[in-house]
Structure formats: C-alpha cells, structure tokens
Amino acid sequence: MATVGKDLSHYDKDGLPDASGMRIGIVVSEWNDDITENLFKGAHETLVDCGVDTERIFRMDVPGSFELIYACKNMQYSTYPIKDSRLRKGLDAIIAIGSVIRGETAHFDFVCQGVTNGIKDLNLNKSRVPVIFCVLTDDTHDQSVARSGGIHGNKGSEAAVAAIKMAAIKQGL
C-alpha cells in the first residue's frame, strides 16, 4: 500500500496563496461523527493556520454523506437558512466532509458513487464556487481513523489546502 507509514497531510503554508480574506464553507456529515469531527477539526485548524479568520468559516451539519450535495449546492448560492448576514457576500470555496465505511450491502457503493458524482456536478455548475471532496470511502473504521488524524494524517487538512488553492483560482478568474 502506497500510504503505509506516511503522514500525507504536511503542507507548506508559505507556498500557499494568501487566504486571509477568504470565506470558506464547510458541510459536515453527522454519520460516523467520530471521523467527520476529526476531519472538520483538521480542516478548521489548517484554514486558521493559513490565515482564514474564524469569522469567515461557515459550518453546516447534515445527517449523512448523501445530504452533503444538497447542502453544498445551497451554500454555493448562499440560499441555505442562516441568520448571518456575513454570508451574503458569498463563499470562495466549500469543503464537503463525510465518511462512508463499507458494510455488508451494496449501500456503500451507491452512496459513494452518488456523492462523488454529486460533488463533481456541483463543480461543473455555473455558481463558480469550488466544492472540495473530503469524503472518506474506506473499507474499515480503522482505515478511516488513520486518515482523520491518525497515522496517515488528516484528510480534512488536505481538503483545506485544496480549498485555499481553488479559492485563489476562483478569485483569479
């Protein structure tokens, strides 16, 4: 396995675009919340470390990974119900955080395929707000733990770095 013994979440913040004025949305699945909360923590800590003000990070929780698509779509268009006028200016990027762990049925395959295609479709729509895919699709809970702050780092942190880079591309368009 290519990831054995490797922390894949190291980043060089000096090599990243200036994130100080960025506005980032994060949608977090409540399913497998021990995993998704760690992914959120990794993303949030990385965004703050790279200069994003905590007042410019917006979180929304959804029941499961399949629901990430709808919430991200609403965040793209700033139409989800939030009593926070700061969001009226729109977001620079959105991170979709979820965890799907293989079970005994084909449900895993349907959810993974649906969420993957849904996030891909959001990136092709006309909103121009990039949506970063941070959905773990592991065979076991141990594999998810290893990728959400364990031996392989934190995919939430990696998603935050991707969000910063994609937001910079959006701002340059």
Which residues form the catalytic set?
Answer: 107
What does the alpha-carbon distance between residue 166 and residue 96 come to, in Å, rounded to a whole number?
14
Residue with tokens 């119900």: 81
E strand or H helix at 100, and its extent? strand 93-101
The span from the first CA to the last CA of the chain, in angstroms, equals 38
Question: Nearest to residue 6, comparing CAs of 154, 157, 155, 152?
Answer: 152
Calpha distance 42→8 (Å, rounded): 13
Q: Is residue 39 within 8 Å of 32, Cβ to Cβ?
A: no
Could you please report the per-residue DSSP string of 115-140?
A: HHHHHHHHHHSTT---EEEEEEEESS
